[in-house]
Amino acid sequence: MPLDASPVGPLQIPVDGGGYLSTLGDPVALALLDYLGFWLKDSLDGQLSQLPGTSADACPAGNRYAFNPDTYFVRNTFPALYVWWDGKSTRQYHTLLFERRERTMHALYVYEELVAPSGIRARAGLPAAVDAIFAKASERGRHPGFGLGAAPPGTPLWQSLGLLKFDYDGGQAGFIAKIPNTSPVPGGPPEGSIVRGYPALRGTFTVWERIDPATTQDPQDLAGDVLVNIATNESGDLDNSVDVMDRYAPAPDGSDALGE
Amino acid sequence: MTTLREDLLPVFDDARTLIDDLGLRTSSVTIRVVTWTGGAEGPEVRTGTPTVADLVLSPRPRVRFADSGTGLVVDKITPTGPGGIGYTPAQLNPAPTLQPGQEVYYVVDGPEGEHWYAAATIDYRRNFGYTLHLTGLTRPVPY
């Protein structure tokens, strides 16, 4: 049966069966986790190692999650990086040959719990630094020491993923704190104005994924040899014919040239 | 001349000690003050090297789940009394006197393991027992 196999961004359609119990993930989210996590570690590990008391690893590989952490992040370990799609997409015209799909990806970086106001000065610039790192990672689109999957280091992310665009739209910093049982806000009267929370930065990225045109599959879609039957009859009686010969008309093998 | 309350506080304390000795208090409560050396900006919590000072409440108080199900109620804590028994409000709540670079939390070690809590409210109004209302900093499964 002829197939129409082609990718949308990095996602091959039909989805490639990775084997029993293989994960069906969002390849853009997974790739951004790897890419942004690399940038965070490369940019912050040196300084964080000079601030003992909290993690010296800015983004441990085991703390990267491809889902929206709303309402249940407290069960994960920190520092953590979350990347997810907000659920909305737009199909847009790009060229005569192919169109594109636009999506907004969200990235949330959450550091370890700090105590405010007595413990936030030394790391007060962390959300701003993460925001700058996201902006630089987007602007560069690559890192000399990073290659997605088996790609050589320095391979642009857009090239590995088949993206037309990968832009950082901006971020919003915050201090994620649990609302206590006895106060409508953190640090309320029973807590004595002491707040424990997690410095965080939430950023958004706009990605354009190319919707590739159809590609042929071998052997389903390629031309094959055709059986030709030559028969004769008398007076045009099609129901009374005699076979003369059967031959195969060969399919093109790629060696034919126009004009020959 | 001592008051009736001061005369009875040792009785309450002895009774609570007996209950503890009989193994009927399965959770220990420790008030932990951590002093951090800090960084370039001076003493700061969670920066530098920590020094831990623990105050283990003895006899063990009673520990129950709060009605909300997400915190603990620690009561039957003997107020300070004759002979050095009991605890003062300042000992139970060091927060108002913390210095820069210090933090306080409550460590409850019970059947579900060791977990950290912060004090939501502390009730000093009862004559023979103080009560801590704790809210969890680490959350034991299943809640």
Among A52, A115, A182, whose Cβ lies nearest the Cβ of B120? Answer: A182
Q: Which tokens go with B100?
A: 């820069």
The answer to whether the Cβ–Cβ distance between A118 and B98 falls below 8 Å is yes
Q: What is the pLDDT of residues B111-128, one digit of tens each?
A: 888 999 888 889 999 999
% helix, strand, coil for chain B, step of 5: 20, 40, 40
- Span B7-39, pLDDT tens digits: 999 999 999 999 999 999 999 999 999 999 987
Q: What is the mean pLDDT of residues A164-178?
A: 90
On average, the pLDDT of chain B sits at: 90
B121: contact with A, CB 8 A cutoff: yes
Mean of pLDDT values over A214-243: 77
Residues from chain A contacting residue B103 (CB–CB below 8 Å):
115, 118-119
Q: Give A57's strand partners.
A: none
Going from the C-alpha of A163 to that of each of A7, A99, A107, A148, the distances in angstroms are: 11, 12, 18, 13
- Provide the 10 A C-beta neighbour count for residue A179: 10
User: What average pLDDT does this structure show over A135-162?
Assistant: 94
Contacts A115 to B, Cβ<8 Å = 45-46, 103
DSSP β-bridge partners for residue A197: A114, A177
Helix (H) or strand (E) holding A27: helix A27-48
Indicate if the pLDDT at residue A169 is higher than 90. yes
Q: Which residues of B touch A119 (CB under 8 A)?
A: 36, 44-47, 103
Q: Where residue A2 falls among pLDDT bands split at 50, 70, 90?
A: low
What number is the average pLDDT over the span A204-212? 94
Summarize the confidence of residues A50-79 as an average pLDDT.
Answer: 87
